[in-house]
Structures are given as C-alpha cells and as structure tokens.
Amino acid sequence: MAINWFPGHMHKARKEIKKVMPQMDLIIEVVDARIPFSSENPLVPALRQDTPVIKVLNKRDLADPGVTRLWLDHLEQENGVRAITLTHNQRAEALDILRLARDMTAHRNLERSALRVMILGIPNVGKSTLINTLAGRPIARTGNEPAVTRAQQIIKLPDNILLYDTPGFLWPKLSPESCGYRLAVTGAIRSAVLEFDDVALFAADYLLVTYPDAVRTRYNLDPLPADGVALMDAIAARRNFYGRGGIPDLHKVAEVLLNELRSGKLGPVSLETPTLVAQETREEQARKTERDIQKAARRRT
C-alpha cells in the first residue's frame, strides 16, 4: 500500500517555510520518539542549510528507552544538530529547550536583536502542545486529529526569543513505503487516506517479531501466533470480536490494536531503529537504481 497525502495547505506551508527559513537563527524540529526517522521531514535538511537544529524526540514515554538512546546518538552525529527527549506535562524539560537554543546561538547579542527560532513538525507529533508549554499560555490549537495547525504565526517568548510556528506538513511522497505505514500506525496520517486493516496488520507483524513479550502479556497468548493475520484472529477470539456467521471482525481488531499501541497499553514501543532505517534506505536505493536501469534499457530498444 502506497500512502500519499499532501493537501493544498501543506504545499502552501512548504513555500512559506522556504521563504522565511534563511532569516532563522535556529530550528526546533519536533519528531515522534517512536519513529524519529519516519516523522522527520526530509525537506528540512535541504531548506535549513547550516542553520543549527534542535531535534526534540517527543512522546518519550511511549517509546522504547533503549532504542531512543540509539537515536539520540545517531542524530547528534549530524553537524549542527542536538537531540533531546521530551514527554507531556514536563514544563521544566520543555524550558530547557530554550536554554539549549541560547547556548547554540551564543554568538548572538539578544539585547540588540531577537533570536528568531522556527519550530517545525509533521502532524500529530505534539508541536502545538510544546508551543503552549513554552509560551506558558494556550496559543496553538491542539487536537487528536493530524493537521490542526493551518497558518503561520509568530510568538514572543521570554529573553527576546521570537518563535515562528508553522503548519504541520508531510512531504509529497512517503518513501520508503514502510515510513508511511509507521506514520499511519502512530496516527500522523488521517484514517481516511489509508486502509485501516492493512496498517494494523503491519503493526501486528512488527510487534510479533520485535516485542513478542508485550503481545503475549497484553493479549494473554501462549503460544504466540505465527504471523500478523493469526495474531489479529487471536485477538478477535480473546475479545469476542465476531460479526455475522462467526467471522472475526478484523476492522474492530484493527481499531483496538492500533489504539492500544498508540496509548502505550502494550508498553513502550519503538517502530524503527537506526540500523533498520539504514537497511531500508539501502534497499530502496537499490530498487530505484534497478528501475532506472530498466527504463534506460527500454529507451534503447
């Protein structure tokens, strides 16, 4: 299943960000700690050039702590990037972001001019909640549905910091395909643009391989099912999710599985590691090279 979601307001946001990016002193990019690669926007590196970046791995409480440590080390290998974690209702930790921003731009004289900081984040990673925390008052709209923020705004923060809020936006094509699935699993993509059952099946297959004990404990399954389809059937049996004729109601199973994963009821789960992402990127590049070779061969014939 290929997922493509690039509404018109997101296209407009990209153009606005490209226009104002050169004026920024620092960028804060909020990503989902469960999917730091899939939830970052690949347009940002091209747009930021050498502007320093703070990567905020939000929703730390929902992610596997060991995997999160791997991501922090991995992200800070990039020049000009500092990576930190955050979870909700931690105002002191959130304010540390501003202190880090000042440290990373120590050459700036804030008494003479404001520090211009742009905050970016794809839908549903918690960017608006973080803005409200930094501002100490409700400024940005928040919600459970992705793509709530629609218009850019400038927010004055303490210590002469101007925070430029931007709409959450995705890139035109989600690649590799597994990135789209992971975004869907965490709720970053509206349910209307994907096959809900397919997303749950992706999650079921991944959980069986990577977090079998969490699956066994949550759904009281021993032995574990052999694959994702069997897991969804087993959940239907445990929860008595059956439709007419005794057929498992897999859509209801999908809703339960995804909701429980998103809410942390299966425990802290990370959906990707730096090693996994590197492997998928190599495979995607190999497929692209093969497609290019085939196109060139067709043109010669």
**pTM for the model:** 0.89
Can you tell me the distance from the alpha carbon of 38 to that of 162, in angstroms, rounded to the nearest whole number? 28
> For residue 141, what pLDDT is reported?
61
Can you tell me the distance from the alpha carbon of 106 to that of 34, in angstroms, rounded to the nearest whole number? 31
**147 against 181, higher pLDDT:** 181
> For residue 2, what pLDDT is reported?
55
153-207 confidence digits (pLDDT tens): 899 998 899 999 876 665 655 778 899 899 999 998 876 566 889 999 999 999 9
Q: Hey, what CATH topology would domain 8-165 get?
A: Rossmann fold (3.40.50)
* Amino acid occupying residue 228: G
Can you tell me the distance from the alpha carbon of 229 to that of 236, in angstroms, rounded to the nearest whole number? 11
**143 against 120, higher pLDDT:** 120
> For residue 146, what pLDDT is reported?
46
CATH 1.10.10.10 fits 195-270, yes or no: no
36-69 confidence digits (pLDDT tens): 999 998 777 778 888 999 999 999 999 999 999 9
| Pair of tokens at residue 156 | 């004055």
Query: 183 with 37: CB under 8 angstroms?
Result: no
Segment 238-251 mean pLDDT: 94
Domain coordinates in residue numbering, the chain? 8-165, 195-270
Q: Residue 74 — very low, low, confident or very high, per pLDDT cuts 50/70/90? A: very high
